[in-house]
With several copies, the nearest count.
Chain A
Amino acid sequence: MATKKKIMIVNRKAPHGTIYAFESLEMALITAAFDQDVTLAFLDDGVYQLVKNQDTRPIETKNFTRAYRALPDYEIEKIYVERESLNARGLTPADLAVAVEVLDADTLAQRIMQQDVVFSA
């Protein structure tokens, strides 16, 4: 295990309606602890995960979305958000709770190709 592996966690699902966003975030945090080259990608409805000011008290669930802001503390610095997905949802980076790198679909596709492992849920 001398060399680091490039591991991407792809997020394409909205938060709250299903648990995938929450449990994928847990996976991202654990993966970061293994000192690998970790990337998070948000596209399609996955971009909703990063919207700021999500308040889950009215639905009485755990507000896991606050943890996205802690990603840099886990040394996860590559956080890609797809431009086309944002645009289709009327969102801009200013709507997000986290500093991200916005990539167009073609560039994101290139980054996916460069991975050793791609997790999705």
Chain B
Amino acid sequence: MAMLYTVNKSPLERNALESCLRHATVGTAILLIEDGVYGAMAQTAFTPALEQALQKLHIYALKPDIEARGIQDKILPGIALVDYGGFVDLVAQHSPVMAWL
């Protein structure tokens, strides 16, 4: 079964998302939550790293957190948005689950 990583940190403030991507093997699912959703934005200094990651990983982002931050129109294509129920489904479908805090 593929595993799920969650990341809740902005990639321009902390190294959590960068380190997570460095440890994500092909087919791993990554869910961006809380301030981690800033990592899903287009046209940022981190965007190239995420675009590269999208080629081998399944990347999701929590829609409630995106809307809270007003960035719904700036999300990279290829990132799937989920709500809290979708978060639960991702956890049920993957194992283990690890939080990059």
Contacts and interface: CB of A to CB of B under 8 A. Distances in A.
Interface of A: 10, 12-18, 43-45, 48, 51-59, 61, 65, 84, 88-90, 105-106, 108-110, 112-113, 115-118, 120-121
Contacts of A108: 23
A112 B41 contact: no
A37 B65 CA distance: 35
Given A17-B10, A90-B42, A58 B99 contact: no
Contact of B63 (A58, A116, A121): A58
A contact patch SS: mixed
A109 B24 contact: yes
Given A14-B35, A51-B71, A59 B64 contact: yes
A40 to B, nearest CB: 14
Interface residues of B, number: 39
Contact of A105 (B22, B34, B38, B47): B22
Contacts of B65: 16, 58-59
Interface of B: 3, 8-10, 12-13, 15-16, 19, 22-25, 34-35, 38, 41-45, 47, 63-65, 67-71, 74, 83, 95-101
Identify the interface centre among A14, A18, A53, A115: most chain B CB within 10 Å of its CB: A14
B41 A89 contact: yes
A43 B13 CA distance: 11
- The listed residue with most A CB atoms (<10 A of its CB), out of B24, B34, B41, B69, is B69
Nearest 6 Cβ contacts at the A-B interface: A90-B43, A17-B35, A58-B64, A54-B70, A118-B98, A88-B45
Nearest to B6: A120
A57 B68 CA distance: 7
B12 A54 contact: no
Among B12, B35, B68, the one with the most A-chain Cβ atoms within 10 Å of its Cβ is B68
